[in-house]
Amino acid sequence: MKVKVDLEICESHGECGFVAPDVFELNDDDVLVWNPDPDESLKDKVLQAAAVCPTQAITVEI
Ligand code: SF4
What is the structure's pLDDT at 61?
98
Distance, in Å, from the CA atom of 12 to the CA atom of 44, rounded to the nearest integer, reads 21
Compute the distance between CA of residue 19 and CA of residue 23 in angstroms, rounded to an integer: 9
C-alpha 61 – ligand 1 centre gap (Å): 17
Name the residue of 19, 24, 60 to mutate for ligand 1: max ligand atoms within 8 A of Cβ. Answer: 24
Q: List all residues whose CB is within 6 A of at least one atom of ligand 1.
A: 5, 10-16, 24, 32, 53-55, 57-58
CA distance 53 to 7: 12
Q: What is the pTM for the complete model shown?
A: 0.96
Taking only the tens place, the pLDDT of each residue in 16-45 is: 999 999 999 999 999 999 999 999 999 999
